[in-house]
Structure 1
């Protein structure tokens, strides 16, 4: 039996008192949320409401001098140093082979990359055959799979995603949804998306950010295991309801 990554047994994520202002403009104030562990939460909202800024705050990236939040798990242990990031751009280095891009984080920390583990992850995302190729020879979907393998390589209990699949065509996106759900099943995932159907397909929890200053509301996802079939009557009904909420004034 394979050893379980001790980081994957992390408790639920809790964010409290998140505030972000740019000069006199307060983007959001006293935002609090909790995420299931393991579980996948999607954050929706109109452009400019602060979704990506909140994600960057949680990641520990400096988005403003006027930023504050508390980020702990259920044991009150900070998540600092236990976070992996996957953005909309894959940011693969063109001069490094695919397998070396997977272990890039370790190299940047001054550690020796684990080629064996990188290869195992490439096999899991269906790209073992491409390990020695360069990123520019891959399709968009293949590059997204490499970026997913690189995220998994970090073995972090908290995975933050900022529209990681937005640039993919519809069918490729369906395929990578299934792979991501399987490989991230033991993690806490928070993903920003502009696609309500994507949120409905992947989420254990749907969060909606809206208002000024922005607040967070919750919407109920459909029943059933993720990734859900987008062609069902239940998904169609929830999709219509979610679109209605997102169109409401103040959304």
Structure 2
């Protein structure tokens, strides 16, 4: 079920923005408008974010990703287009109703922590609840629970300047979680952290998501972060969304030359997983071994396979077993049930050089409930 929908969003700054939208719809470029003193920050952007999904918007500086985020929570009014949360059109609300939606349904986690230096860790975590008018006892209880979730139990009475950068960002995350908002918006939330702490925060978010199943829009300029966190990823360039898909879609089938160049340095063997590229179980049963034996059952296939791996096993770990046998490597889900297999031909094809859409190899990426996730370390 879709929790958030944005349709044909435009944000234009400068003179006669509505006229500029008409020109863009008529084929004018961002550069054409810039010569007229007008800046098109977001151009015809549409996204749909499902409940419980981490939707990552990725792009370089100036691509329009942060402007898009600010339209999603109503901080910026779109020049054209609509934003809906649970079917409610934010662009049609009064200022009072919009503030109510923002305080109750949307939480933000910022890049630079945005903590109040004169408030304790607990008071910072409870701030959103204070804005909502929640009684002190209740907001302290919920803030304490959120701090515990983010690994800050025992730090409630500390001051922000007593915390490391990573801990301060955990307070910001706890503040967002304490409100129990349906939608969590994260704007470059981890980019100010050093690499080790950043990875730790990514781990924290993914672990929390297993339990809380929040609907999250995460903004980043870091490709590896996008690949690690995103259930779905939108790539932006010059105000436009140029591709939306899973990490596997973008790595295997980049839609444009720009996307292909963007991902060319990614180590695909450590990003793609067995579950992302496997043949489904229905297509591998019936495989014949070199001695002519037909593997017609899951038990027979597993016994003959050179290795049995989980759906989240990185492709880098499949080369040795794939090279040792003509039988594909067996892939199982978290319950140990056979869900597919990776033959050596599929492994080599997926690892071929990424190409633009009109040149992409015909290598389908499986879209099953058992599909593997991308992992860290790209």
TM-score (norm 1): 0.80
1:53 matched to which residue of 2? 67
- Give 3-state SS (helix, strand or coil) of 1:127's partner: coil
User: How far, CA to CA, are the matches of 1:241 and 1:47 in structure 2?
Assistant: 26
- Please show how residues 7-18 of structure 1 align to structure 2 within 5 Å: 11-18=2-9
Match of 2:217 among 182, 190, 204: 190
Alpha-carbon separation, structure 2, partners of 1:210 and 1:91: 28
1:35-74 Cα shifts (integer Å, max 9, x gaps) = 1221101111121121100100111103x6x62332224x
Structure with greater contact order relative to length (CA < 8 Å, sep ≥ 6): 1
* Alignment match, 1:203: 230
Q: Distance in 1 between matches of 2:353 and 2:130?
A: 46
- 1:92-131 map, 5 Å: 92-113=115-136, 114-131=139-156
Look up the match of 1:7. none
C-alpha contact (below 8 Å) 1:31/1:215 kept by paired residues: yes
Q: Distance in 2 between matches of 1:241 and 1:189?
A: 31
Q: 1:34 maps to what in 2? A: 48
Q: Which has the higher helix share?
A: 2
- Going from structure 1 to structure 2, the CA distance change for 1:69 and 1:156 (only over 3 Å counts) comes to farther
CA contact 1:222–1:234 (8 Å) conserved in 2: no
* Count of residues in correspondence between the two structures: 225
Is 1:151 equivalent to 2:163 in the alignment? Answer: no
| Counterpart Cα distance in 2 of 1:52 and 1:28 | 10
Q: Which residue of 1 aligns with 2:87?
A: 76
Rounded to whole Å, the distance in 1 between the matches of 2:2 and 2:246 is 22
**What TM-score do the two structures reach when normalised by structure 2?**
0.54
d(CA) in 1 for partners of 2:353, 2:271: 10
Q: Following the alignment from structure 2 to structure 1, what is the Cα–Cα distance between the partners of residues 39 and 153?
A: 48
Q: Per the alignment, in what secondary structure is the counterpart of residue 130 of structure 1?
A: coil
* Structure whose CA Rg is larger: 2
Query: Is the contact between residue 35 and residue 41 of structure 1 (CA under 8 Å) also seen in structure 2?
Result: yes
Which residue pairs with 2:108 in the alignment? 85
Deviation at 1:111, TM superposition (A): 3.3
CA distance in 2, matches of 1:208, 1:183: 25
- Structure 1 runs of 4+ aligned residues shifted over 4 Å read none
Query: Are 1:215 and 2:241 counterparts?
Result: yes
Name the SS for the 1:126 alignment partner: coil
Between the aligned partners of 1:231 and 1:137, the Cα distance in structure 2 is 38
Question: Is 1:235 aligned to 2:271, yes or no?
Answer: yes
**Could you tell me how far apart the structure 1 residues matched to 2:134 and 2:118 are?**
19
- Is the 1:31–1:216 Cα contact (8 Å) retained in structure 2? no
Which residue number in structure 1 is paired with residue 299 of structure 2? none
Distance 1:27 1:133 in 2: 40
Q: The residue matched to 2:226 in structure 1 has which SS?
A: helix
CA–CA distance in structure 2, aligned partners of residues 90 and 125 of structure 1: 14
Structure 2 alignment gaps of length 5 or more: 15-37, 91-97, 250-265, 273-314, 316-349, 357-378
